[in-house]
C-alpha cells in the first residue's frame, strides 16, 4: 500500500488522482464526502467536497489536514506536510491504512 506510517502519523495521504488543478473532485466515483469516525470516536476524519480533509484526534482538532482524490472506491491522501497514505471503501466502511472508519450518521 502507498505511504509510510509512523506511530504518530499513521493513516495520512496519497498520490494525486482524478481531479482538477484547483483541488475539486471531478468524476469522483465513490460517495465519500462527510464525517468518518473510528468506533471509539477518537479519530474523526471529515472529507470535504472540495477534495480536502480535516482529521481530528481526541481533543486535537485539525491534527492532520490535506487533500484526497477518489478513483472508484480507492482514496489517495496527501497531507499538508507531504505524507502519503491510501484508503478503500468496502461495504460502506473506510479502511484507511490501519484505521477502520464508519460514516457518521446525522441525527434526524
106 pLDDT band, cuts 50/70/90, is confident
How much is the pLDDT for 1?
37
Kindly list the structural domains of the chain, giving each domain's residue range(s) and its CATH number in brackets, ordered by start. Answer: 1-108 (2.40.128.290)
Neighbours of 37 (CB within 10 A): 18
DSSP string, 7-68: TTTTT-B----S--TTS--SS--S---EEEEETTSSEEEEE-TTSEEEEEETTEEEEEEEEE
Q: How confident is the model over 18-59, as pLDDT tens digits?
A: 344 444 445 546 899 999 999 999 999 999 999 999 999 999
How much is the pLDDT for 30?
84
How much is the pLDDT for 27?
52
Amino acid at each position: 500500500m502507498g505511504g509510510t506510517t509512523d506511530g504518530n502519523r499513521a493513516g495520512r495521504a496519497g498520490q494525486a488522482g482524478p481531479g482538477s488543478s484547483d483541488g475539486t473532485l471531478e468524476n469522483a466515483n465513490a460517495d465519500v464526502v462527510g464525517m468518518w469516525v473510528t468506533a471509539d470516536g477518537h479519530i474523526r476524519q471529515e472529507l470535504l467536497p472540495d477534495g480536502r480533509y480535516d482529521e481530528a484526534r481526541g481533543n486535537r482538532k485539525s491534527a492532520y489536514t490535506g487533500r484526497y482524490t477518489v478513483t472508484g472506491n480507492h482514496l489517495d491522501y496527501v497531507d499538508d506536510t507531504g505524507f502519503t497514505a491510501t484508503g478503500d471503501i468496502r461495504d460502506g466502511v473506510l479502511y484507511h491504512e490501519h484505521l477502520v472508519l464508519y460514516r457518521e450518521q446525522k441525527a434526524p
